[in-house]
Structures are given as C-alpha cells and as structure tokens.
Structure 1
Amino acid sequence: MNKITILFILFCTSIFAQRGTNITVTGKIMEASSKQPLEYATFIITDVKTKKVTGGVTDLNGNFSVAVPKGLYDMKVEFIGFKTKQLPQKELSADINLGVITLSEDTETLEEIEIVAEKSTVEIRLDKKIYNVGKDMTIKGGNASDVLDNVPSVNVDAEGAVSLRGNENVRILIDGKPSALVGLNGTDALRNLPADAIEKVEVITSPSARYDAEGTAGILNIILRKGKITGFNGSLNTTVGHPAQFALGTSLNYRTKKVNLFSNLGYNFRKGPGNSQSFFSNYDNGVLNDFRNEDRTFNRKSNNYNGSIGLEYYINKNSSITGTFFYRTSKDDDIATNFTEFFDVNRNKTGDQTRIENEKEDGTDTQYSINYTNNIDDKGQKLTVDLQYGDSKESEPALITVDGVLSEQNSQITNSISKLVQIDYVLPIGENSQFELGHKSDLQDLNSDFRVRDGNGNTLPSDPSNAIDFKQDIYAFYTQFGSKLNKFSYLFGLRTEITNIDLYLINNDSFNEKNYTEWFPTINFGYELNDNDNFTLGYARRLRRPRYWFLNPFESRSSATNVFRGNPDLNPTYTSSYDLGYNTRISKFNLGASVYYQYSTDVIQRVSILEERNVDGVLTDVTVRQPLNLNDEQRYGFEFTANYNPAKSVRLSGSFNYFKFKTDPFNFTYTSNSGETVVTNLDEVNESSWFARFNSRVTLPAKIEWQTRIMYRGPQDDAQSTRKGMFVTNIALSKDLFNEKATLVLNVSDLFNTRKRESTTFLYEEDDTLRSVNESSFQWRERQISLNFTYRFNQKKKRERPERNNGDGDGGEGFGS
C-alpha cells in the first residue's frame, strides 16, 4: 500500500462524505497468532454499484472507523507481510461494528516486500519516549554503555556511570524487569552486553505506577531483539579492534504457528587500557606544606561468554507461555599500577612508591524466567504472570605489591540470589479507557566476604577484613486508570512499596535494619493539538535506595592514600518529579522540548574527607570518599531534541540539555580511625551545567554510509569540586554487501582520545581553612578502533515487516498518544 493508494483512498472518502447521510463502519484488526493489534493496517471498502473505493488506516490499538453512504459493499483488510483478508459482501443500512478481524502472516511474500520508509527514530508515548537504535553505526562492535551514551537525555561518564538529565540515580531495566544481564555490578555488566542485542531504549522520565518507584531521575528500559519472522533465520556478527578486541556472536530464531525458539550466543575478548592522575597540594593551617603526585595506569583484560535460549509456546489463540534461560561467565585480569611521588614545599622530591594491584575476577550469572500471557478476550483484556530466579557469583582475588615486595593478599567473594514474582492485569473499559492493577515481589539475598592478609598470609594488626549479609525484600502493589477523550488523554496511578532491609556486619557483629512503606502517586496527561503537535505533562514520586556497596563500610585497597568506603547509616532519597513536554513535526523536521523540575530530600552524594594516618611509617593525609545523606536538593532544566532529514541521503539530529541544581548547606561530623573528631562543612551549591549532541548520517557514493556523532558535556561544580567540560567524537563508515545480506562497519570511538574526566577537589578544615587541593584526571578507556561484520540469513536488512508498538517492554499495554 503506497502513498498514492492512500491518497486515493482519502480522496474517495471525501467524495463519499458529500453524498448525503453516511453510516459508520468500525472494527479492530489484530494479528492472528499473538492477538496483538496491528497499527497502520488498511481497511478497504468498495461500493459494488459505483465501484468507488474508500477506506481507513488503523490506530495504535488496531481500531478503524470509516464513514460511507448506505449501500452494498465489498470489504477487505490489508497489511504489509500479511495475507489479505476478503470479508463477506454486506448491505449496509446503519452503523455497524465488524468486531475483531485477524490477519495471518504471508510467509511466501514476507521477504519480497521492501520497506522504503525507515521507522521513526523517536516515538512519543504518554509516559515515555522510545529511541530506536538499530540504524546507529557508531555503536557497532560496542556495548550497552555505548548505546545508552547515544540516547538523548542520557550521559555515560568516563567510569561508566549512567546519568539521566545529569542525575546518576537512574533505574536500568532489561525488557521491563531487573535482570541478571545487569549483574552484581551494573556498570561492568552493561559493558559486557553487546550493542547488537539491543533493539531500542525507552526513556521514562515520568514513570507511571506500573513501573518500579526506584530511580529518582527516571527509568531506562533496554529492549532486546527478538525474532519475529516465521521460519528459521538469524545473524552472525564478529568484531576485531585496537586496542586488542575480538567479539563473535550469533542470534538464531525458529518460529512456527505453535512455537518460537530463540537464542543468542556470544564471546568477547577485550584489553582496556586506561589511566588517571591525581596531584595533591597539602596545607597546614592554610599554609602550603607539601605535594603528592599519583599516576595510575590500568591494564585490563577480559574474557566474557554469554548465552541465552528461550522457547515461546502458543497454548491457544489467546495465551502463550515463554521460558528463558540466561548464562554468563566472565574472567577478568586487571592490573592497576599506582606510582606515587612525594615532594616538599619547594617541589623537591622526597620519596616515591610503586603500588601494584593485580586483581582477577571470575563471575557467573544465571537466570531462569517464565512468562505466561493470556489475552482473555478480543477487546484487550490481558493477564501476564512473570517468575524469575537469578543466581550471581563473583570471586575477586587480588595481590598488592609495594616497591616489588608482596604486601597484601586480598580476596572478595560475593554471592547473590534474586527472586521475582510479577502479576499484571489489564481491563479495557469501552473503546478509550483502561484499568490496570498488579503486584510485584522483588527479593534479594546477598553475602559478601572481603578478606585482607599480609604478604605472608597473616591477618594485619588493624584487620580491615569485612563480611556482610545483605537482604532486601520489596513488595509492591499498583493500580492505574487511563482514558482518552477526543484529543485529551490521562493516566492516574498509585503504587505502594514495602521495603525491608537487613544488613548484618559479621566482623563487627552489628545489625542494621531499615523497614519502610511509602506511597508513590503518578499523573500523566497528553493532548494532541493535531496530527503533528502534542503536549505531555507528568508527575511522579520516586525514591533511591542505597545499594549494598554504598552500605558496606569496608575500604578499598588499591591505593593507601585515596580510598572509598560505604556508610551503613544511609537512608533512601525521595524525589517529586514534574515534566512538561512538547513534540511537533514540521515538514522534514521533528522537534521536541521538555521543561522539568525535581525536588529531593536526603540526597545521597559522595563526600571526600581527610584523615591523618600512618602510611609506611609516615603521617600522611589520606583522602576518604564516603556516601552521605545531604540536605534537600532542587533540580530543574530544559532540553531540546531535533531531527531533520533534508534528503534520503542526509539525516541530521541533535539535542541540548541545560539543568540547574541547588543543594542546601550541610555539616558532617565523624570520628576518624585515630579517635579524632573531624567536622566537614559543605556550603550551599547553586550551580548549572549542560550537555549537547549532534549526529549526522550521510550516504556517500557507492552506497557507503558515513555517520558522525559529537558530544560535549559542560563544566559542573558541586560542594567540594569543579569539573571541566568534556568533548567526544565518534565516526563510522558502513557498506552493505552480498545483496544486503551482510554489512561491514568501521567504527572509531573517541576519535581525538578526549574522553577524560578532569576535576579539582577542595577540602577545608572546620573553620574553612584550606586543607588540600586535588587536581585529577581519569580516562577509563582510550580511543578504540573496530571493524564489525554482520551476516544475515533468511532475513534482509530492509525487508522485514515493520514492528507494531505493543506497549511497554515489560508486557503491559502502552496507553496514550
């Protein structure tokens, strides 16, 4: 069905509308096997006597409505990749509802259909934005962190920390649920998830009650690719790169009318060189006293295997059950070399030290999932049940040498078991309203044993070993109701979460318990001014629970003078978030704008303090970083996004985000290891920052595609430090081969090797006397060059039928525009 045919249908419709009294023909078009509504399916109706043709196109929920004069009509339904369905000839004399019309896939013609128009990069929903990432070449050979770093509103810093609109407390889900794919350490796990496995990312800045309340900034929901084409098909991709990189992966899918068998297998080897530098200027009573310089290099080597297999069985035309097994194993060998030089006030060198930490990491993650879906009736009533069990194990032995002598033998063993039960029920009310309710139990039981021994295997005099038992059980209940009245839509929801946290510090024989029950209302409004302009307005209450590594008080050991430790007394942060958005299409432009405001209490932030300790017989100022609950914070800003396609060969997009945050002053008093009472004053923070992206994709001669992505993150200050701006450029060249069955991509990530975090931290005494200044830079990964080759069999790059928007990735039905 091309544009000319659609225009012809619309023209005929206008002619019919002028022929006196019309009647209305309505109905709903759905896919026969999955019972999912088909958006953009075409209903065609022909007057038997006059042979005049009219028709209509279905909406998001598969509904159509056509006005015609009374008479005798032939009717049929068409959709790309499906068999055309001819309906019985009818004499129409009054309004009629044809009910649900189901279409079946046409397996013979499916691969012969060419889709000229590409799927929109951005899709707007009432409570989220959906970014389709399949056309982004700069992520080829990359990982999930690279994908997220290319999504508007999202930033991934030099250490891999993900932030949404400048706020790092963002909840990351896989297919709408917590997943073993994120593992014990979310940052490292995202680096191990290949980009080719990701289909799209949902950015949910004003989540409805259906979603977890966790994440004060919002939610990023990563949707993985799943096979949709009948028969056997798949793809094979491999990547080689410098610094040393090799990846091999395959995605296989076999689908019939009764079963859908799918699998993903992958291997990844990578060396990741990185570096950091810290230069300390130390003061005594405000007078410069001495200097210390720490140069650290990171040589990382990782081997990761991951695999998943799943089977979906269609019990009957309305229900199905899906079982999935996921397994990952990783073996890392990381060497961090810390070379420290000491200088007097005149910058004369007084000593040096070389401290090397060789840490090996063996980890396994397994996850078993079962999903039951029952489309109870043809009107959209739906019940889904999810069961999930995950088991993660991680062993991290580490040897530390100081000036060539074995100083410490450390080890950390962490085991975590997670269980999830989720039930969601959707009840349509009439044509335009929907009621939902559900329950979720998310249970985690974790044990971490951290042991420190000297070079001979003996316990150190002040034993820093630590072991914890951490248990967190969350029980959630939600309900929400939404409706659409002409151009106006709304979604009201209420969620309650009961949290029980038990933290047992085994070495200290101390027990911390935190139990709380909170309510989280959500409100979302939408208004369609016309087909091209719409507004959204949302409110949500959110929270941030401290993770176990923020609660565990053991100290890191890679540096004797710059350490991190957790805080078992942390409380959750609560945030009220407001978001107003506008989206418009003007000719070849797609423009979006948002204004947002967030108010948070008990903000969690890492704070640096100084302790004077004996390091190898010398009294030294040691920097200790620790998370604390600060006072309230206000954060507000605005963002713009734009897509412009001046021609088929040129596609441009950009985004700009500006935000301002204000934190109340805070005084922190603590007792150091030596028994000294130390007071740290944190002044009021009233600062702003911004970041911008530009992306272009140009088709060159010989059908070579060239993509450039530029990102700049502006400078930012907080209570103790100032951070410089950061500029990053990625480029990629792509060429289709073998009649579009294969694609070759050359990708250069961080072209100018400028992806570094540079900052200056100021520490003061209680009376605001300067104590220390730390000028630092950190580069997690240096410039990466990679070559990726993908081969597809029984599927073609541009010959897959377009996907239907089936709502949320978590199985719930999407609601709104």
Structure 2
Amino acid sequence: MKHRFFTLLTGILSCPFFAYAQRPAAFRITGVVADSAKQLKQVTITAQKALLEVKDGRLVYNVANDLNKDNLSAAEMLRRVPLVTVEPDGTILLKGSEQFKVLLNGKSTSLLAKSPRDALRSLPASVIKSIEIITQPSARYDVEGTAGIINIITRQPFSGYNGSLSGSYNSLRYANGTATLNAKTGRLGIAGFVTVNTFRNKGRSEGLRRSHVPNYENTLAQTGSSVFDGTSYYASLELSYDLDSTSSLSLYSNNNIGRNTNNAPQLNLLYPDQQPVQTGQYTSYTRYSNNSYDLGLDYQKRFRQQGHTLSLSLNRNTGRNTIHADNAQLNEPGPDNYLENYNGEFNTENTVQLDYARPLPGNGQLESGIKTIFRTIESDYNQHLHPDPDRALRQVNRADTYRYRQDVLAAYTTYRFKIKKRVGVQLGARLEKTNTSAHFISSDTTIHIDYLHFIPTTNITIPISGTQTLRVSYSRRLQRPWITGLNPYVNDNDPYNVSHGNPNLQPETSHSVGMNYQVMIGGVSLLVNPDYTITHHAIEAFLSVGADSSTIAASVANIDRRSAAGLDLVVGAQLNPHWSINGNIRPVYTSLQNETGRSLHNTGWSATSYVSSDYDLGAGLKVELSFYLNSSRPALQGRMQGYSSHTVSLRKELFHRRATLSLYLDQLFQREIAWRSVIHDPLFEQTSTFYYPVRAARLGFNWKFGQLKEAVTRKKGVKNDDVKRSDDNH
C-alpha cells in the first residue's frame, strides 16, 4: 500500500505522460520504453505498443494507442505530448519556443511551412500513427529548427485492404468527417484519406495601453469581439509499386483547401491629454483563402546487406494564400475611413535529395547525402481607400510586389559506431550554402544575403544496465526566416495596432546540449532530460510605438541573444492491471537580451505540465481524466499569461472492436479562458486579454473495415526542416 501511495504521489507531482510496456507476469507498465528494453530477460511484449517510446534519441508518442484519438485534432493531441505546449490561441511551442519545424511523414508541406497551427487543427488525430519529437537532430536532418523537429506520422497501411469512416461534433460547433482507404494487390499499393472540417470560434477581447512618449501621452481603451468561421478540406494519396524484391517507387500527394472568414467589430476610446475624448466604432470583415499541394516521387533501393540502401527523392511544394479585408472606421470626432486591404502570397519549393547508407565493419554505419532546395516566394499587396461607394483610390505607400528567392545546397555525413560493443556513438557534420535575394518592384530595390554554415552534431548512448540508459548530445542549429516574417505587407485593419514583416531578417543560429536518462523500476518509468540552448541573432516578436504615439506596430527582429535552460521529467506508473497514472513537467529559465538599437532585457521562469489517469472498466469501456497547467512565460517586452484546463473522456468499443463510440468533455467547471499578455516598454505599457469559450462536449464515432497484412507505403519523402515560420494571428 505504501508503495502504491508513493507511486501515485510521484505521478501527480511529476505531471504525466504515459505509455504501456509489459511487466513480468500479466501486469502492464505505463511509462517510457527505452531502446535498451530489448535486453531485458523474461519480459513478454504484447501487441499493445507503449504510448510513449524512446527510439534513437526521439520521443515517440503513439497516437494510435491514445484513448482520445477519435475525438481530437492533431493540434489538440499535441497538448498531450511531452515538451510540446499548445496555447489557447492555437500557437504551438516546442520546449517553450516557436523556433521549430513540423514535418508530415518526414517531409515538409506548403501549409505546414507557413502555418502549422492551421494545418494541424484541420488534421484529425484518427489518421495519425505517431508523433515524433526530435530535440537534438543529427546532421542527416536539415539545420532548421533551433528547438527541434515535430514529425507527424500518419497511419501506415498493409497488404489486402482496409479503411475507416469517422466523425465527431462538439457543442462549440466544430465538426469533422474522415474517410481512409488502403489496398494492395500484387506489387501495387494505394493509401489515402480525405477529411473535412467546419468550425466556428467565438471570442472577445479587452485592451488598455498607456503611452509615455514625451508630449504625446495618451490612453487607449479597446473592446471587441470576433466570430471566426471556417471550412477546410485535406486529402492525401500515395501510389507505391515494388519494381522487384529490393527496389520500389512511390508517388504521393497532399492537398489542402481552406476558406475562412472573421467578423470583428471593435470599440476604441482614445484619451489624449488636454483634448476631447475620441470614440471609434470599427468593423473588420476578413476573408482568408489557402490552397496548397505537394507532389513527390521516391525511389528506394535495398542491397543484399542489411542497412545498405540508396534513395532518391523529388518533391514539388506549392501554396497560394490570400487575405482580403473590408474595414469601416467611424471616428467621433475625426474623419471616417473605408478601407480595403489585400495580400496575396504565392510560393513554390522544389527539392532533390539523394541519400546513401552503408554498414561498416565492427557494427559501424555510414550515411551521407546531398540535397538542393529552390524556393521562390511572391507577395502582392495593396490598399484602397473608398471616399464613397463608387470610388476606390489606390494608396501608393501601401502597395508593392515583393519577390523572394532562396536556394540551398547541402551535403552531410554521419558515422555510427560502438565502443567496446556497448557505448553507441554518432558523429555527424553538415555543410549548407544559402543564397537569398529580395526584390521590391515599385522601388526597384534588391537585397542579397548569402551565408555558409558548418553544422556538427554528436550523440553518445551509454547503457548503464538493462533498464537504464544515458544519452548525451550536442547540435548546432540554424533558423531561416519564412515569408510570414519577411513580408513587408502592413496589416492595419486595426489602425491602433498594425503588423508587418521585416525583409531584413537574418537567420538565427544556436548551440544546444542535452542529456537523456531513462530508467524503469518495477511498475514505474522515469525520463529525465536537462537541456540548454543559446541562440544568437534570435528572431523575436517586437512592438514599437508610432510617431503619433497612438499606434503600436508589431513586427519581428533579430535580437542579440536568447538562452533557455530546461528540465523535463516524465513519469508513468501502472497502479494495477486496470489503472494507470502518468505525467510530465518542464520548468524553464529563459533570458532574452538585445543591445543593438534599443536596449531590452528580460528573464524569467516558466513551466508546462500535464497529468492524466485512465481506468479500464471492462466490457470495452474506458475512462480518462486529464489536467493541463501551463504558467506564464517571458517575452522580450513582457510576459504571456498561462492557463489551465481539464478533460474527461469515455470510450466504448462496439461490434467486436470494429467500432468505437466516444464522449469527450472539456472544461466542465470553466466556461471560458482569459488569456492575457502584459507588455512593459520605456515608451508604453499595454495589457491585452482575449477570452475564449472552452466548455464543450464532443461526441465521436469510428468504424473500421477490412484486414491487411503487409505494409503498403514505400514513401520516404524529403525533410525540408530549414525555415522559420510564424503563425497567422486570426
């Protein structure tokens, strides 16, 4: 009894995360499964995979074994993954940072590169097999992502045929329908899925800002609301063909179509010193449209010797995104304005990648490869002023065409070997040459930036015993800015709070060291992962006050340095054959400093945590309780508010496990989340609060049919994880 109480207390304090391994006899262990677990004696492994595993330095969350996979989107599922935080507005953080890359089946896609938040909330978790977290990528990966890589692996089909139909609906008017189909006959395999999502997000906001600009002191109070409606369609298709027993071809495509609108009325009260109060009644109606597709071809050749492979990957990535906003600004006293803003973004990315791997004597492994990426991006933006319904005046200072080109040539090599047949060592080096150019059409201005980076990586694995493993790693990383950070288009739908990109952004570089310790003791598993990352020329959000002191401009800039020291604790415990409790917690100390231009400095602690407990009631019925708690975190000019949430879920298996019916209850005791940011600057103070409705009930159903035996997919894909993106704020 004391042992169980101690295990329960340890799980609660550590804030969980869980996985399932097998205990001697019939008990199932919840926790982390180390690579060295295969060395254990007299351990029976069942068909049920662990929910969390550690493979080659990657944390692997097996979504297929999650109780809530039929109810959640990919973005919502990420909340349950260690090291990942999803904030109330959908912003995704890895180790508390937005500097990371999201891949789909090991490759980049147009929508993921631009806005992973939008892509992952339209992707249902039911089609995901696992989520990989790679915090110390080897030289084989592109250098992008100072915090690491999130790799979304969709379900892999098998020989024969199978498929599924699923759908879910919640009381906040989110609905999803998904169909999957996989088949293989002879040498030909087909795998695909299509999903449709509709949603309506309502919210309200409050803001207060005080300007301290000498001779221009004033106070601005703002209240507003928004209704964000959207529909998205996502489809994936892969055709694979086995040329012979050792080589295969794979043709694949991913397509996404999204149509969204946002209706956001706002009331503004401006109190300039010694002047009458100005009242502003503003309305903004914005239409968003995005279309993206990826088309790829893979060739893989496997030689007689195991681990001896050659692969060639070709990929074309295209995206078209438009924003069209109609604004009415009624001021009393003051002039009324009727504005129309437009921004169209068009991007293409062509990639060629060649990889070769060969085993060496003494259990060594050599991998090498070359890669080229050719990117072209164009942004066409303009603004029209409507003095009356029949006239539209083009605003010359708010119109331009911005063209950006980026070419990357890379080569890498990694060497794996063992010392005394026990200690695993992986050494790697990568060299990347980047050529960029930006051209403004109206002013005929061109910006050229070229740079060369050498990227060393080191990973050392030390098995301490059959149940304990220690890993030490080092990597140097690079983060290139993406179009959302570079685009100079000015969004002034709210004239008091405008935003724009920075075409002069430079890449940021980082050095990262980490240690990973895994241990399994009886029914308890523990993962301890301290890490430290220091980033130079870090790309950070930055707010500045305008010349009239009533306007704040939000942009991004390179600051001198950002450093973060964190510690991950992941604990899982199987209390009895039916009951498990699991958790994770990550405290982080962050320092941001800028001495170039304006001197700004901020430091502080933050923490993210998650705890869950599930119970098997028998007869195919399971229940789970979970709790999230994320503290506020420091930003360059202030802090972002934290939040908490809780969920209850029930899942019932039907028709001999061919179907499942699930109920997901979110925030039973809290109607809405108040998410607050506080900015302190020598020239102004600003507090913004956004209120999101969160209490909801969601009902889901999933039906599976068919039976497969052998894997269909032959896709390898390219891994373009080398650019930094910024999520759209809508």
TM-score bracket for the superposition, by shorter chain length: 0.7 to 0.9
Identify the residue that residue 705 of structure 1 maps to in structure 2. Answer: 622
Spell out the pairing of 1:438-517 with structure 2 (5 A cutoff).
438-455=369-386, 456=389, 458-459=392-393, 463-485=397-419, 486-517=421-452
Cα deviation 1:175-200 (Å, max 9, x = unaligned): 11112352533322222222222111
State the identity as a percent.
23
Alignment match of 1:714 (pick from 628, 631, 648):
631
1:393·1:415 contact (CA, 8 Å) conserved in 2? yes
Spell out the pairing of 1:783-798 with structure 2 (5 A cutoff).
783-795=695-707
Which segments of 5 or more consecutive residues in structure 2 lack a partner in the other structure? 1-21, 23-33, 721-730
Query: TM-score, length-normalised on structure 2?
Result: 0.87
> How far apart in 2 are the matches of 1:454 and 1:323?
48
- The aligned amino acid for 1:190 is L
2:220·2:550 contact (CA, 8 Å) conserved in 1? no
Identify the residue that residue 359 of structure 1 maps to in structure 2. Answer: 286
Alignment match of 2:565 (pick from 626, 636, 650):
636
Alignment match of 2:500 (pick from 544, 561, 565):
565
Identify the residue that residue 652 of structure 1 maps to in structure 2. Answer: 581
Spell out the pairing of 1:192-591 with structure 2 (5 A cutoff).
192-228=122-158, 230-283=159-212, 285=214, 289-343=217-271, 350-403=277-330, 407-430=338-361, 432-455=363-386, 456=389, 458-459=392-393, 463-485=397-419, 486-591=421-526
Identify the residue that residue 10 of structure 1 maps to in structure 2. Answer: none
Query: Counterpart of 1:612 in 2: which secondary structure?
Result: coil
2:249·2:298 contact (CA, 8 Å) conserved in 1? yes
Q: Cα distance, 1:484 vs. partner?
A: 2.8
Identify the residue that residue 759 of structure 1 maps to in structure 2. Answer: 677
1:319·1:373 contact (CA, 8 Å) conserved in 2? yes
- The aligned amino acid for 2:145 is G
Query: TM-score, length-normalised on structure 1?
Result: 0.78
For the structure 1 residues 259 and 220, does the alpha-carbon distance in structure 2 shift closer, same or farther, using more than 3 Å as the test? same
1:138·1:731 contact (CA, 8 Å) conserved in 2? no
1:341·1:349 contact (CA, 8 Å) conserved in 2? no
Spell out the pairing of 1:126-141 with structure 2 (5 A cutoff).
126-141=56-71
2:51·2:66 contact (CA, 8 Å) conserved in 1? no
Coordinate RMSD, CA, aligned: 3.0
> How far apart in 2 are the matches of 1:324 and 1:726?
40
Q: Cα distance, 1:253 vs. partner?
A: 0.6
1:273·1:782 contact (CA, 8 Å) conserved in 2? no
Which segments of 5 or more consecutive residues in structure 1 lack a partner in the other structure? 1-39, 41-58, 67-79, 81-114, 614-619, 669-679, 765-770, 813-817
> How far apart in 2 are the matches of 1:774 and 1:501?
36
Identify the residue that residue 83 of structure 1 maps to in structure 2. Answer: none
For the structure 1 residues 528 and 570, does the alpha-carbon distance in structure 2 shift closer, same or farther, using more than 3 Å as the test? same
2:63·2:125 contact (CA, 8 Å) conserved in 1? no
Q: Cα distance, 1:495 vs. partner?
A: 0.5
Q: Cα distance, 1:290 vs. partner?
A: 4.1
- The aligned amino acid for 1:776 is S
2:70·2:702 contact (CA, 8 Å) conserved in 1? no
Q: Cα distance, 1:756 vs. partner?
A: 4.2
Residue 599 in structure 1 maps to residue 534 in structure 2 = yes
Q: Cα distance, 1:700 vs. partner?
A: 2.9
Query: Counterpart of 1:621 in 2: which secondary structure?
Result: coil
Query: Counterpart of 1:463 in 2: which secondary structure?
Result: helix
For the structure 1 residues 424 and 716, does the alpha-carbon distance in structure 2 shift closer, same or farther, using more than 3 Å as the test? same
> How far apart in 1 are the matches of 2:689 and 2:702?
37
For the structure 1 residues 724 and 412, does the alpha-carbon distance in structure 2 shift closer, same or farther, using more than 3 Å as the test? closer
1:466·1:507 contact (CA, 8 Å) conserved in 2? yes
Matched pairs, number: 675
Q: Cα distance, 1:508 vs. partner?
A: 2.9
2:648·2:665 contact (CA, 8 Å) conserved in 1? yes
1:745·1:787 contact (CA, 8 Å) conserved in 2? yes
For the structure 1 residues 699 and 354, does the alpha-carbon distance in structure 2 shift closer, same or farther, using more than 3 Å as the test? farther
Query: Counterpart of 2:88 in 1: which secondary structure?
Result: coil
- The aligned amino acid for 2:249 is I
Q: Cα distance, 1:772 vs. partner?
A: 2.2
For the structure 1 residues 783 and 511, does the alpha-carbon distance in structure 2 shift closer, same or farther, using more than 3 Å as the test? farther
1:763·1:773 contact (CA, 8 Å) conserved in 2? yes
Query: Rg bigger for which structure?
Result: 1
Q: Cα distance, 1:383 vs. partner?
A: 1.0
Identify the residue that residue 687 of structure 1 maps to in structure 2. Answer: 604
Cα deviation 1:258-279 (Å, max 9, x = unaligned): 1221110111111122332211
For the structure 1 residues 666 and 811, does the alpha-carbon distance in structure 2 shift closer, same or farther, using more than 3 Å as the test? closer
Deviates more, 1:399-408 or 1:168-177: 399-408
Query: Counterpart of 2:514 in 1: which secondary structure?
Result: strand
For the structure 1 residues 165 and 286, does the alpha-carbon distance in structure 2 shift closer, same or farther, using more than 3 Å as the test? farther
1:158·1:778 contact (CA, 8 Å) conserved in 2? no
- The aligned amino acid for 2:540 is Q
Q: Cα distance, 1:223 vs. partner?
A: 0.9
Identify the residue that residue 108 of structure 2 maps to in structure 1. Answer: 178
Identify the residue that residue 15 of structure 2 maps to in structure 1. Answer: none
Q: Cα distance, 1:590 vs. partner?
A: 1.3
Q: Cα distance, 1:296 vs. partner?
A: 2.6
